């Protein structure tokens, strides 16, 4: 039985990779940091099948000990401070974890007596390219393994350092070390501070909030009124405001991204380590979509055709330096690895919205960073307006049907 060691097993990619490797018959060990809260939610359904050890990739001695004790055949590093926006405010932490942690793992493997029995995968990122791209003869933009890196964030700088270290250890020490330059990959397990999940979680909460208003007052909402930053629900006959809900607050809607599903991308990780020779591969769908297009797909999933009244642009969510266009060319991965993405852009958005409508609500009510005592608060509870509308409620017509718009 092959053994796999996953750093970052509790994240989106780690959970899908663990599922995939278990399905392949691997013995899987995951490394998690000791924290005061439960971080195993994404892997709770497979936890009994996993070996979990405490560790931290910023601790070189700890990394060496974990690798010695687990004796893995394959080592996957998915651990990082991976939020681009956060990297601007937590620069040193991002460098220590995202770059320094990789160096610790590479050194531990290099000094192990089993060095040449192990294969190493490093999660690189399309953020390495920054504003750079190549063009076809027809003027189509793309990035591949030969496109020059031009990082636009501390996160990307840290990832570039890690990417280059993998290459150096591969060429200098003969290690089987590969990097996957993964373009944006999302899923139902995506962290809520990433824009795709922020959108679908908001949609899920909005749909459930509107259902709750109807249930509370036993009526059909006739009129939905949009203000600058709020959505108001009014009683049909009286026009009384029943409740309010904060709009979805976003930054740049015109950035292009190549979005795929994480479940497809972890297959590519494993495929890289099955090759006789290590190498670096771009993993992408080859399609590019704007955030506006993702909004289209997400709102269409709940039968809202025009989302413009539900979204407001907030300068707070603009980055100091933005990556404008990303579209990967996965030709090498398709040719060498025989890898193909299976889940389309539209299916990705639909799955995420379906999941978030089902599970309801956001886990982090401060997600849009609006003070709780501000007029911009995301939602005002129904009890806040119930008293003033008490008399008029009897005049509101009952309802049976359900609508999303």
Q: Where are the alpha helices (DSSP H) in 178-323?
A: 195-217, 262-272, 291-300
What is the SS3 assignment for 335? helix
Q: Among candidates 189, 195, 199, which has minimal Cα distance to 41?
A: 189
- CB contact at 8 A, 131 and 149: no
Q: In the numeric block, which tokens belong to residue 193?
A: 């501070």
Round to whole Å and give the CA distance between 405 and 403. 6
User: Hunting for tokens 């359904």 — which residue is that?
Assistant: 45
**Active-site option among 16, 26, 121, 155:** 155
Distance CA 10, CA 35 (A): 12
Residue 379's alpha-carbon distances to 368, 376, 387, in angstroms, are 11, 8, 17
Q: Name the active-site residue from 127, 188, 205, 240.
A: 127
Which residues are CB-contacts of 273 (< 8 A; sequence separation ≥ 6)? Answer: 74, 119, 120, 121, 176, 178
Retrieve residue 211's tokens: 């259902």
Residue 94 appears among annotated catalytic residues:
no
| CA gap 258, 283 in Å, rounded | 10
Burial class (CB in 10 A: 0-12, 13-18, 19+), 233: buried
Whether residue 149 contacts residue 89, with contact meaning beta carbons closer than 8 Å, is answered with: no
- Identify the active-site residue in 10, 94, 125, 285: 125
Instruction: Name the helix (H) or strand (E) containing 155.
Output: helix 154-173
Rounded CA-CA distance 126/143 in Å is: 8
Distance between CA atoms of residues 149 and 390, nearest Å = 62
CB atoms within 10 A of CB 309: 13
| Residue 155 a catalytic site member | yes
Which residues contact residue 203 at a Cβ distance below 8 angstroms, ignoring those fewer than 6 apart? Answer: 248, 298, 299, 301, 302, 353, 356, 357
Catalytic residues: 125, 127, 155
């Amino acid at each position: 039985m092959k053994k796999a060691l996953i750093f970052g097993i509790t994240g989106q990619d780690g959970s899908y990779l663990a599922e995939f490797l278990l399905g392949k018959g691997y013995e899987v060990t995951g490394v998690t940091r000791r924290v005061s809260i439960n971080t195993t939610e994404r892997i709770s359904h497979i936890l009994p099948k996993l070996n979990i050890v405490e560790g931290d990739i910023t601790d070189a001695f700890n990394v060496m000990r974990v690798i010695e004790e687990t004796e893995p055949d394959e080592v996957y590093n998915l651990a990082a401070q991976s939020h681009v926006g956060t990297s601007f405010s937590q620069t040193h932490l991002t460098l220590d974890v995202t770059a320094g942690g990789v160096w610790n793992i590479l050194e531990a493997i290099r000094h192990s007596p089993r060095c040449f029995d192990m294969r190493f995968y490093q999660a690189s990122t399309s953020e390495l390219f920054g504003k750079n791209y190549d063009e076809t003869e027809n003027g189509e933009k793309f990035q591949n393994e030969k496109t020059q890196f031009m990082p636009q964030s501390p996160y990307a700088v840290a990832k570039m350092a890690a990417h280059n270290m993998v290459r150096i250890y591969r060429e200098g020490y003969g290690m089987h070390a590969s990097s996957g330059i993964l373009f944006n990959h999302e899923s139902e397990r995506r962290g809520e501070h990433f824009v795709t999940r922020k959108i679908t979680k908001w949609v899920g909460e909005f749909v459930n909030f509107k259902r709750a208003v109807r249930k509370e007052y036993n009526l059909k909402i006739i009129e939905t009124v949009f203000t600058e930053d709020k959505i108001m629900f009014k009683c049909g006959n009286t026009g009384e405001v029943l409740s309010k809900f904060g709009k979805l607050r976003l930054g740049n809607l015109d950035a292009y991204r190549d979005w795929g599903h994480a479940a497809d991308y972890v297959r590519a990780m494993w495929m890289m380590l099955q090759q006789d020779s290590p190498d670096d591969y771009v993993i992408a769908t080859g399609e590019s979509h704007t955030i506006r297009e993702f909004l289209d797909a997400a709102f269409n999933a709940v039968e809202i055709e025009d989302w413009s009244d539900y979204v407001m642009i907030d300068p707070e969510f603009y980055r100091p330096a933005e990556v404008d266009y990303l579209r990967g060319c996965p030709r090498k991965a398709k040719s060498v690895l025989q890898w193909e993405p299976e889940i389309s852009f539209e299916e990705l958005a639909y799955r995420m919205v379906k999941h978030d409508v089902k599970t309801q609500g956001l886990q982090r009510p401060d997600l849009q960073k609006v003070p709780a005592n501000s007029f911009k608060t995301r939602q005002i509870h129904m009890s806040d307006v119930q008293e003033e509308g008490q008399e008029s409620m009897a005049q509101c017509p009952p309802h049976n049907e359900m609508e999303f718009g």
